[in-house]
């Protein structure tokens, strides 16, 4: 039998619920508020069939462009041939979770503002740009002793006899 090409083909493991994650859906899923511009991860919940995105979008990160009563409009980049198209899809809240992709950036921004305020109080200007990690510092090797190693000449006749 040839393989089917249906909408949910090859999603047996992709859409299955995780180990000890089956059963009821936590209320947090429904009580979360999403705003336009938020980054969200599309993570399909196989238990809810309504508002389920196509398998291509599973595991992708997008930006919220619309919020409705039960669903969220997410804008996701999709590579088609040699170009990238910005696709706008509506996904129910059960299949979406807040993304942590901007977490590190927001923490760095807060930290940089704090550093700038401290520098301004001291009356100096600092750079908050990230610098690449440079080469490791050099060091001297202490207590090393030199040992000269010389090769022993190879003797074919003695080797055939079985030793020196």
Q: What pLDDT, on the 0 to 100 scale, is given for residue 38?
A: 97
Q: What is the DSSP string of 71-116?
A: EEEEEEEEEETTEEEEEEEEEEGGGEEE--TTHHHHHHHHHHHHHH
Average pLDDT over residues 46-64: 96
pLDDT tens digits for 107-126?
999 999 999 999 999 999 99
Cα–Cα distance for residue pair 122/120, rounded to 1 Å: 5
Q: Identify the band that residue 1 occupies on the pLDDT scale cut at 50, 70 and 90.
A: confident
Neighbour-count burial of 95, counting CB atoms closer than 10 A to its CB (0-12 exposed, 13-18 middle, 19+ buried): buried
Q: What pLDDT, on the 0 to 100 scale, is given for residue 163?
A: 56
């Amino acid at each position: 039998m040839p393989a089917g090409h249906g909408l949910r083909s090859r999603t047996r493991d992709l859409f299955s619920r995780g180990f000890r994650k089956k059963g009821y859906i936590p209320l947090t899923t429904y009580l979360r508020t999403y705003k336009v511009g938020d980054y969200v991860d599309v993570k399909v919940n196989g238990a809810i069939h309504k508002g389920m995105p196509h398998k291509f979008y599973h595991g992708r990160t997008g930006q919220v462009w619309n919020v409705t009563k039960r669903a969220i409009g997410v804008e996701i980049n999709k590579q088609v041939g040699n170009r990238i198209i910005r696709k706008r899809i509506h996904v129910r809240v059960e299949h979406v979770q807040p993304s942590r992709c901007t977490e590190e950036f927001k923490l760095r921004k807060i930290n940089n503002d704090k550093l700038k305020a401290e520098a301004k109080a001291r009356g100096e200007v600092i750079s908050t740009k990230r610098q690449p990690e440079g080469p490791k510092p050099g060091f001297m090797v202490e207590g090393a002793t030199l040992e000269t190693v010389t090769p022993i000449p190879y003797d074919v006749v003695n080797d055939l006899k079985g030793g020196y």
